Structure 1
Amino acid sequence: MDIQYAYTILYVNDVPRTMEFYKKAFGFEEKFLTPENDYGEILSGTTTIAFANIELGSSNFKKGFMTSSLTEKPFGIELAFTTLAIEKVMENALQNGAVLLEETVTKPWGQQVGYVRDINGFIIEICTPIISKE
């Protein structure tokens, strides 16, 4: 069976505003945005991050779903972005509307990790790559 992980879709209130945040905060580029502004994708490396508006999500999931919000605890899922310039990326994200969740720390295995929440409340891990000992 040939299968690969292609993209993650985050359901948000405002797709263009969210895409603008990810472009400014992390330097990602727009890949696609529907004329209706209800679905868009950004270039973020090998895996695409996509955004769909709440209305589109509601049409996909007839029984409804929980929406992410900065006023509630975050979902137990995160997007992880690796960089060697962790402090610079953290600061840029915060300057562009992210909310600090956890300061940068160094894990016992040597990786630096910090956490912010995006403008919709989703968790973003900003971390250094894990170096294999092979």
Structure 2
Amino acid sequence: MVKFGYTILYVEDVEKSIEFYENAFGFARKFVSPENDYGELNTGGTTLSFASKNLGVQNLEDGFIESTLEDKPFAIELAFVTDDVGDLVQKATSLGAVLVAEPKKKPWGQVVSYVRDLDGFLIEICTPVEM
């Protein structure tokens, strides 16, 4: 059996990223290493984790492409589901997220907006998909 356990973002400052996601989205801190180079948040079924870019270099000897606000976002996103997209977008941007796309209603009824976090990772904020 395989279970999707973690999404790990390589960030400049683990503590700062943890605090942003706690304050912007209400996730609870699960763990931060004593070295402050790795941390986890309780987000539901899958753990959202952060590792320092320095730890990333140690783990990936050939390096990696860093996420920054100066570059276009990667072709991947985190999606957070809420009943009030506008309020959550406003809260996230007031804490440093950068607005990419205003909330928009999709043809299937879902409301979707996009922001980028402090390190430039793309976040979709959306209502549930109604089937």
Under TM normalisation by the shorter chain, which class is it? over 0.9
Work out whether 1:17 is the aligned partner of 2:16: yes
**Partner secondary structure for residue 59 of structure 1:** helix
Q: For 1:95, give the aligned amino acid.
A: S
**Partner secondary structure for residue 31 of structure 1:** strand
Q: For 1:46, give the aligned amino acid.
A: G
- For structure 1, which runs of at least 5 residues remain unmatched after alignment? none
Alpha-carbon distance, 1:64 to partner? 0.6
**Partner secondary structure for residue 55 of structure 2:** helix
TM-score scaled by length of structure 1: 0.96
Take 1:95 and 1:13, find their aligned partners in 2: how far apart are those partners? 20
Alpha-carbon distance, 1:131 to partner? 1.3
Take 1:7 and 1:109, find their aligned partners in 2: how far apart are those partners? 29
Q: For 2:112, give the aligned amino acid.
A: V
Alpha-carbon distance, 1:109 to partner? 0.6
**Partner secondary structure for residue 2 of structure 2:** coil
Alpha-carbon distance, 1:25 to partner? 0.6
Take 1:12 and 1:85, find their aligned partners in 2: how far apart are those partners? 28
Please give the residue correspondences for 1:1-134 in structure 2 after superposition, counting only pairs within 5 Å: 2-132=1-131
**Partner secondary structure for residue 96 of structure 2:** coil
Alpha-carbon distance, 1:85 to partner? 1.2
Take 1:24 and 1:121, find their aligned partners in 2: how far apart are those partners? 17
Number of residue pairs aligned between Structure 1 and Structure 2 = 131
Q: For 1:67, give the aligned amino acid.
A: E
Alpha-carbon distance, 1:34 to partner? 0.2
Cα shift readout 1:8-37 (whole Å, capped 9, x = no counterpart): 000001000000000111111100000000
Take 2:2 and 2:98, find their aligned partners in 1: how far apart are those partners? 35
Take 1:6 and 1:84, find their aligned partners in 2: how far apart are those partners? 25
**Partner secondary structure for residue 94 of structure 1:** helix
